[in-house]
Amino acid sequence: MAFVAAYAAAYPVNRLMLRRGQGHARSHGAMGDGVERAWVPDIPAPGLAGALAAFLAGGLLVSIAA
C-alpha cells in the first residue's frame, strides 16, 4: 500500500520535471549542483550482491521458522 501511495505522489511530479527537462535526479540535487553526498556508500557490486543475498536468505529462514 505504501508503494502505491508513493507512486501516486511521485508520478505527476516526475512527469512535470521531465517535461521541463530536469528529470527526477534534479530534485535530489544530483545533477551538477556541486552537492557531494558523503553518506552514499561506494560498495562494489559483488559485496552488494552478497549482502542482498544474505538479507533475503535471512528473511526466508525467519519466514520458514515461523
* pTM attached to this predicted model: 0.39
d(CA 64, CA 66): 5
pLDDT tens digits for the chain (66 residues)? 788 888 898 888 878 877 777 665 665 655 555 656 566 667 788 988 999 999 999 999 999 997
Q: How high is the pLDDT of residue 27?
A: 58
Say if residues 52 and 59 touch (Cβ distance below 8 Å): no
